[in-house]
Amino acid sequence: MFGFAIFSVLINLLVGLVLLFCLIFIVNLIVYRSLKFHRTKWNYFGSIWGTVFATSVLGILWNLSQGADAKYGWYDNFIHMPLYGALFGGYLGWIMGEQILGKAPKNTRPWLVGLSIAIALAAFYGYLYTGLVSYGDN
């Protein structure tokens, strides 16, 4: 059952990223009056990083707040957390990609990318692990 929850989390993560890019498209349309994306690959990397990281932080906080009494809407909020993460952290990650990764010196950029990937994956693992603990305690 929890394997299906992890699959649902990953599907919702993809849906959240699609919603994020639609939101960014609308913002670009309103601000720049253009249908083009006026950013670089670092913005896209940053938005994905921000989505995963915000999903993880929100998910960990949600799972820890429920603890051993995980019931009622815990499961629904657990699998829909990537949608909240995309809306909350995706745009902040977009800005992070532009301001930090895009302007970093070329010799430190691979280290920053590697470090940010490691942080996001560790946080995402924590999100799934605390979800597994909350699910197991139920």
d(CA 11, CA 50): 17
The token pair that represents 110 in the structure block: 């691979």
Tens digits of residue pLDDT in 84-138: 888 778 878 888 887 888 888 889 988 988 998 899 889 888 888 887 777 765 4
Residue 57 one-letter amino acid: V
pTM: 0.76
Tell me how far the alpha carbon of residue 30 is from its chain's centroid: 24
Question: Could you tell me if 49 and 117 are in contact, meaning their C-beta atoms sit under 8 angstroms apart?
Answer: yes
Q: What is the dihedral of CA 34, 37, 39, 42, to 10 degrees?
A: 170
